[in-house]
């Protein structure tokens, strides 16, 4: 606030004033908000002011009740625009919409709860596809093992496809055998440990697949939330973790 007060500006700045509604990360405590607001309002360098907050538990039905109580305490008597709703509140808590909403992960067609079923009826569609192709095929006999540590053991003769993608590309290293993947439009599964630059998939459901066959790791058919759930993480992390070396194509 001191920096804003002492700054030499050509024109006042429009600002957002953040109230801590329970995240305990950033923002003024609710009991200080009124005083802070009036101090800012009196500054010549301040133009329009919008009150904002960030919900910590908006993906739970009861998650914003206490947060809204804190915000009401902070804003009692104030005439101001509000920006409160993240993706979860935008979807499930219309009472928190106010003037501006701030959707995040739903812009990518992924679920703020980490479960695709929670947004399946919203009309949202995935907008990011992580894709690759098969660069090798192994036909393995009973008892042979796949990948580092030999964590997957073949129980009947099986064709395994090797896909040019791994944890160095942002695919989760901890994705276990059975994580869903799409090969030539057919749903199948990963097998064995994910490597730095490659991973293995079961070609049993898609015997026509071979070198050059396209693979969807997540996207329209394989939801990023499902991959994340299998790997013990969230779609947020996977969407953020795609490596710079992966070519980005906008369509």
Known binding residues for substrate? 25, 196
Residues tagged in the binding site annotation: 25, 196
What's the token pair of residue 79?
């005439």
* 133 strand-pairing partners: 214
Under 8 Å between Cβ of 151 and 177: yes
End-to-end CA distance of the chain: 43
Q: Which residues contact 167 (CB under 8 A, 6 or more apart)?
A: 173, 194, 195, 196
Are the beta carbons of 120 and 104 closer than 8 angstroms? no
* Beta carbons of 237 and 228 less than 8 angstroms apart: yes
Closest by CA position to 85, among listed 96, 70, 72:
96
Q: Is 119 helix (H, G, I), strand (E, B) or coil?
A: coil
């Amino acid at each position: 606030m001191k920096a804003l007060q002492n700054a030499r500006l050509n024109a006042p700045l429009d600002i957002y004033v953040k109230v801590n509604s329970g995240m305990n990360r950033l923002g003024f405590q609710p009991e200080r908000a009124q005083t802070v607001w009036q101090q800012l309002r009196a500054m010549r360098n301040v133009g329009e002011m919008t009150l904002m907050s960030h919900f910590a538990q908006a993906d739970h039905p009861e998650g914003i009740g206490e947060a809204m109580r804190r915000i009401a305490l902070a804003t009692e008597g104030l005439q101001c625009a509000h920006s409160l709703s993240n993706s979860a509140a935008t979807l499930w808590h219309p009472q928190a919409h106010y003037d501006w909403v701030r959707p995040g992960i739903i812009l990518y067609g992924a679920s703020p709860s980490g479960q695709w079923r929670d947004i399946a009826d919203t009309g949202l569609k995935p907008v990011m596809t992580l894709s690759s192709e098969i660069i090798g095929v192994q036909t393995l006999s009973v008892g042979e093992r796949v990948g580092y540590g030999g964590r997957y053991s073949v129980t009947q003769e099986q064709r395994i496809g090797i896909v040019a993608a791994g944890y160095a590309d942002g695919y989760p290293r901890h994705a276990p055998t059975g994580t869903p993947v799409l090969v030539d439009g057919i749903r199948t599964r990963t097998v064995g440990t994910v490597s730095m630059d490659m991973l293995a998939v079961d070609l049993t459901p898609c015997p026509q697949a071979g070198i050059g066959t396209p693979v969807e790791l997540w996207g329209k058919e394989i939801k990023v939330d499902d991959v994340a759930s299998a790997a013990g993480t969230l779609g947020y992390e996977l969407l953020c973790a795609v490596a710079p070396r992966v070519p980005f194509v906008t369509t």
